[in-house]
Structure 1
Amino acid sequence: MKKLFVFFVTVLCLSIVISCSNKKEQADNLPQMVEVELSINPDPGKMNQPISFEAKVTQGNDQVKDAEVIFEIWRAKDDKHEKVEIKHAEKGIYRLERSFSQEGTYYIISHVTARDMHNMPKKEFTIGTPSAPEDPNTKNSMDGMKMEDEGH
């Protein structure tokens, strides 16, 4: 009887060890998040002078060269948002140069889809004299979005 008890305890311990190692292997196999580093140069910018927008897309140490990247740009409190599809430039960098004919506070969101993941960082930038920024609770602001399931 004692031998049978020792046998069952040994089998139980082995089962626990094997189970734990499988969970670690599964965690090691999870893909890393796609990261997006959005930069604006210069900021603040000047009217009718080019501004460079760059999204550096990486996953771990890999530079992502096959992402779908769309820059969405608008002036604060403006309902008109411009969306521009961006192609890969170099080393995981997606770049757009644009000039602006109106001073004020602007926003950019880089919508990045790569390797079954989506990332969309947002930045504020200024051209000349800043205008009143968006209220984060308005419908125009991404900051005030409610992420609720509305029956979809």
Structure 2
Amino acid sequence: LHSPQARCNPSMIDPRCQFWCPPHACQTNHTPVAHISRYAHTKVGDEDDLLRAVSIGPVAVAIDASQPDFMSYTGGVYSNAACMSDKAGLDHAVLAVGWGSSAAGVPYWIVKNSWGTTWGMDGYFHLQRNASNMCGIATDASMPLV
């Protein structure tokens, strides 16, 4: 995606931003690589079930990304007690791709955001794991079965 406006921030909704792809800029290959037979969901709120799914491959998850400190995240393990974990409070789709623990021993999820590489840690963030379903990460998680 390209932006003709130098000050355009793709992570914020701004009517001045118009994203476009120049004609014929993207090369496509129409050969199927895989066939998605159906989708599976993890158990609602079950981080252990999500961990099993992420150990197989990336999992699409919905989270509460409405907290101002999340929008300005630059690194570390994100945790905010004000985050919602019920389905009605989830407002953003991201991709859970792994897990780990900080140097201080805090377990976290490795999550890919869609706000570009200038946000977070090159477009990724660490969300506290095993913390009562922080920001609803295990509330609405699904993955394709190929």
- What's the TM-score bracket when you normalise by the shorter of the two chains? under 0.3
Report the TM-score, using the length of structure 2 for normalisation: 0.22
State the structure with more CA Rg.
Answer: 1
Q: TM-score, normalised by structure 1?
A: 0.22
Q: Greater share of strand residues, 1 or 2? A: 1
Q: Bigger relative contact order, structure 1 or 2, given CA contacts below 8 A and separation 6+?
A: 2
Of Structure 1 and Structure 2, which has the larger fraction of its residues in helix? 1
